[in-house]
Amino acid sequence: MKNLLGGKGAGLAEMNRLGIPVPPGFTITTEVCTYYYEHGQSYPPELDAQLREAVAHVEKLVGSKFGDASDPLLVSVRSGARVSMPGMMDTVLNLGLNDTIVEGLAQKIKAASGSPRFAWDSYRRFVQMYGDVVLGLKPESKTEADPFEALLEKKKEARGVHLDTELDEKALRELVAEFKAEIKKRKGRDFPDDPWEQLRGAIGAVFGSWENHRAVTYRQMYNIPSSWGTAVSVQAMVFGNQGDDCATGVAFTRDPSTGERRFFGEYLVNAQGEDVVAGIRTPQPINNASKRQPDEKSLEELMPAAYADLVRTYERLEKHYRDMQDIEFTIAKGKLWMLQTRTGKRTAKAMVRIAVEMVKEGMIDADEAVLRADAGKLDELLHPMLDPSAPKKIIARGLPASPGAAVGKVVFHADEAVAEAQKGERVVLVRVETSPEDIHGMTAAQGILTARGGMTSHAAVVARGMGKCCVAGVSAINVDYGKAQMSVNVDGKVVVVKRGDVLSLDGGKGEVILGAVPMSAPALDEDYAQLMKWVDERRRLKVRTNADTPTDAQTARNYGAEGIGLCRTEHMFFAEDKILAVRQMILADSVGERRRALDKILPMQQKDFVGIFKAMDGLPVTIRLLDPPLHEFLPTEDAQIAVVAEELGVKPDVVRARVAALHESNPMLGHRGCRLAITNPEIYETQVRAIIQAAVEVKRAGVDVQPEIMIPIIGHERELAIMRALVIKAADAALADAREKIAYTVGTMIELPRACMVADKLAAEADFFSFGTNDLTQTTLGVSRDDAARFLGDYVKRGIYPVDPFVAIDQEGLGALMRIGVDKGRSAKPKLKIGICGEHGGEPSSVAFCHSLGFDYVSCSPFRVPIARLAAAQAALKDR
Ligand code: ADP
Ligand code: MG
Ligand code: MG
Cα–Cα distance between 151 and 158 in angstroms, integer?
A: 10
pLDDT digits (tens, 9 = 90+) for 540-578: 999 999 998 898 899 899 999 999 999 999 878 877 778
The predicted structure's pLDDT at residue 39: 93
Could you report the per-residue pLDDT of 492-531, keeping only the tens digit for each? 899 999 999 999 999 988 999 999 999 887 878 999 999 9
Residues 95 and 130 sit within 8 Å (Cβ to Cβ) = yes
Q: Which residues line ligand 1 (CB under 6 A)?
A: 23, 76, 78, 87, 91, 93, 235-238, 248, 273-274, 328, 330, 339-340
How many residues are there in the chain? Answer: 880
Q: Say how many Å lie between the CA of residue 338 and the centre of ligand 3.
A: 11
Q: State in Å: Cα 601 to ligand 2 middle.
A: 64
pLDDT digits (tens, 9 = 90+) for 102-138: 999 999 988 888 888 999 999 999 999 999 999 999 9
Ligand 1 atom showing the smallest separation from residue 25 Cα: 23
Which residue CA neighbors atom 18 of ligand 1 most closely?
A: 273
The residue among 653, 378, 728, 403 whose CA lies nearest residue 527 is 378
Which pLDDT tens digit goes with each residue over 640-689? 888 888 877 889 998 898 888 888 999 899 999 999 999 999 999 999 99
pTM for this structure?
Answer: 0.83
Active site residues: 458, 837
The phi and psi torsions of 145 (rounded to 5 degrees) equal -75, 160
**Which helix (H) or strand (E) covers residue 209, if one does?**
helix 195-209
Return the pLDDT at 785: 81
Measured in Å, residue 507 CA sits from the centre of ligand 2 at 25
- pLDDT of 456 > 80? The answer is no
Contact between 389 and 408 (Cβ < 8 Å):
no
pLDDT for the residue numbered 294: 86
> Which residue, judged by its Cα, is nearest atom 17 of ligand 1?
273
> Which of 232, 328, 435 most suits a substitution to test ligand 1, by most atoms within 8 Å of the C-beta?
328
- In tens, the pLDDT along 821-849 reads 999 999 999 999 999 998 899 999 999 99
In the prediction, which pLDDT does 462 show?
A: 84
pLDDT band at 47 (very low <50, low <70, confident <90, very high): very high
Please report the atom of ligand 1 found closest to the CA of residue 80: 2
Going by C-alpha positions, the residue among 744, 718, 747 that lies closest to residue 731 is: 744
Neighbours of 781 (CB within 10 A): 17
328 alpha carbon to ligand 3 midpoint, in Å? 6
- As a dihedral over the C-alpha atoms of residue 613, residue 615, residue 621, residue 625, rounded to 10 degrees, the angle is -60
Q: Give the ligand at the shortest distance from the Cα of 274.
A: 1
Three-state DSSP state, 484: coil
Ligand nearest to the CA of 233: 1
Structure confidence at residue 10 (pLDDT): 96
Count helices and strands in the chain by DSSP H and E runs: 35, 32
Residue of the nearest CA to atom 24 in ligand 1? 237
Segment 775-831, tens digit of pLDDT: 999 999 999 887 887 888 888 888 899 888 998 999 999 999 999 999 999 999 999
Ligand whose nearest atom lies closest to the CA of 328: 1
Which bound ligand lies closest to the C-alpha atom of 90? 2
Instruction: Compute the distance between CA of residue 759 and CA of residue 774 in angstroms, rounded to an integer.
Output: 18
**What is the DSSP code string of 220-232?**
HHTT--GGG-EEE
Name which residue sits closest to atom 1 of ligand 1, judged by CA.
87
Would you state the pLDDT for residue 765?
97
Provide the pLDDT for residue 83. 84
> What's the N-to-C CA distance of the chain in angstroms?
25
> Which position has the higher pLDDT, 652 or 274?
652
- Atom 12 of ligand 1, residue of closest alpha carbon: 273
Cα 406 to ligand 3 centroid, rounded to whole Å:
29
CB within 8 A of 362, min separation 6: which ones?
Answer: none
Expressed in angstroms and rounded, the spacing between residue 339 Cα and the centre of ligand 1 is 6
Of ligand 1's atoms, which has the minimum distance to the CA of residue 87? Answer: 3
Residue 719 has pLDDT above 80, yes or no: yes
Q: Which one is predicted more confidently, 292 or 664?
A: 664
Query: Which residue's alpha carbon is nearest to atom 3 within ligand 1?
Result: 87
Q: Is pLDDT larger for residue 206 or for residue 863? A: 206
